[in-house]
Amino acid sequence: MDRRLPRRLIDARLQTDRLFAILEPAALYERPIPERHRIIFYVGHLEAFDWNLLREGHAPFHPAFDQLFAFGIDPVGGALPTDQPANWPSVEDVTNYARKTREQLDAALPECSDLLLNVAIEHRLMHAETLAYMFHRLPLDQKRPPQDDSAALPPLPREPGMVEVPAGAVTLGLSRESGQFGWDNEFEAHTVDVPAFLIDRYKVTNGEYLEFVRAGGPAPVFWNKKGEAWLYKSMFHQIPLPLDWPVYVSHDDASAYAKWAGKLLPSEAQWQRAACNAPRSGNFDFARWDPVPVTAFGAGATGAQDMWGNGWEWTSTLFAPFPGFQPFPFYPGYSANFFDGQHYVMKGGSARTAACMLRPSFRNWFQPHYPYVYAGFRCVRNA
């Protein structure tokens, strides 16, 4: 057993505890994104997931909560949830349940398998990011800004245009023989030949996207207009639109911009090829609440910059199984439920993405109309 894993799970709990701590208590019963549960659900869900996954040998002490908080991602049948705050248990009851699950599991963690512990850790860290999307939608007076010592990063000189990525092979996914942890959709590793192409050196910025908006394109949900000026809604403040930050938009809006610019979104394989040997320096692992200028970090071998962190990047690839895909027997719906032709692959990571998920094989995915994700894009052209 990897003896670091129990400590990593405890550290992941601290990360989500710190996230819930930024909320005013009344906000726990808010539903800031209509398609999602109320926030109180996630207070219970993170612990119920770990309990249901790892509690082998422990008798359930609250079966009703084990079921209530088990799963909940997309609304069933496309309908929006209609529950009311009064339908949910009290904060005290949910936090007592969370405390007791942790107490009962902690003694058993050294006996858990590496695979299940990795699943519990990354599941929680994924929610740390998706909860940030939700909390971003709350009114500013429902959040308490934590002390943040992150110094502002000034933009570096910007090089113009696109970079050419030569033709070559790229490996997508992980090999089961590697012994590395990955989610079921990351297997099996396979090689794809990618013809030469041009890709934007940087993510598309707010300033570049603003030209599209002025030409009639849709404004991102992170923007507000006051008179003739555009403002940006960060997690804790409303500020003048930072023109050199990456724009965050839906896949639909990214595709529309690419068409307007006479370009395309990259495929998953193209993005992976452009990211080859890109340095793992960037805005990620919960270091900041907001983006930084797209020029703040260096380039890899291909010349493309800011590939890791600072905003996921939409691709043109529909989320689908790799050859040799096998669902996790203990979580069969994790990926398979979304192989529906209605979700697109994102790569890279955002400021709120944990470092462990910045592995080249990791795949994120969302529906094309979903606008709340910290996801930007860059465009490609045929060479």
Residue 74 banded pLDDT, cuts 50, 70, 90: low
Count of positions (residues) in the chain: 383
Say which residue, 115 or 161, is predicted with more confidence.
Answer: 115
Residue 241 · residue 206 · CB < 8 Å: yes
Residue 54, classed as helix, strand or coil, is helix
Rounded to whole angstroms, what are the CA distances from 147 to 40, 150, 191, 284, 286?
Answer: 24, 9, 45, 18, 14
Say which residue, 280 or 31, is predicted with more confidence.
Answer: 31
Task: Give residue 141's Cα distance to chain centre.
Answer: 25
Percent of the chain residues topping a pLDDT of 70: 96
* Residue 153: partners with Cβ closer than 8 Å, 6 or more residues away: 292, 293, 296
Give yes or no for residue 72 having a pLDDT over 80. no
Instruction: Indicate the pairing of strand 380-382 with strand 223-226.
Output: unpaired
For residue 149, what pLDDT is reported? 57
Which pair of tokens denotes residue 112? 């858990």
Give yes or no for residue 137 having a pLDDT over 80. yes
Give yes or no for residue 157 having a pLDDT over 80. no
For residue 93, what pLDDT is reported? 98
For residue 21, what pLDDT is reported? 96
Which pair of tokens denotes residue 70? 């088990």
Residue 180 banded pLDDT, cuts 50, 70, 90: very high
For residue 73, what pLDDT is reported? 57
Count CB atoms within 10 A of the CB of residue 281. Answer: 12
CATH code reported for the domain at 162-204+247-382: 3.90.1580.10
Give yes or no for residue 66 having a pLDDT over 80. yes
Residue 276 banded pLDDT, cuts 50, 70, 90: confident
Angle at which helices 91-106 and 39-54 cross, to 10°: 20
Give backbone dihedrals phi and psi of 134, rounded to 5 degrees, phi first: -65, -50
For residue 159, what pLDDT is reported? 81
Give yes or no for residue 329 having a pLDDT over 90. yes
Q: Alpha-carbon distance 223 to 227, whole Å? A: 13
Say which residue, 149 or 229, is predicted with more confidence.
Answer: 229
Give yes or no for residue 184 having a pLDDT over 90. yes
The residue extents of the domains of the chain are 5-142, 162-204+247-382
Instruction: Give the mean pLDDT of 93-107.
Output: 96
The strand ranges marked E within 324-374 are 344-347, 364-366
Give yes or no for residue 77 having a pLDDT over 70. no
pTM value surpassing 0.85: yes
Give backbone dihedrals phi and psi of 191, rounded to 5 degrees, phi first: -105, 140
Instruction: Give the mean pLDDT of 116-140.
Output: 97
Which pair of tokens denotes residue 55? 């509690």
Q: Which CATH architecture is the domain 5-142 placed in?
A: Up-down Bundle (1.20)
Residue 380 banded pLDDT, cuts 50, 70, 90: very high
Instruction: Give the mean pLDDT of 125-137.
Output: 97
Instruction: Give the mean pLDDT of 303-320.
Output: 96
Least confident of 45-49, 146-150, 159-163: 146-150
Least confident of 70-84, 90-104, 107-121, 267-281: 70-84
Give backbone dihedrals phi and psi of 328, rounded to 5 degrees, phi first: -60, 130
For residue 78, what pLDDT is reported? 63
Q: Is 261 exposed, middle or buried (0-12, 13-18, 19+ CB in 10 A)?
A: middle
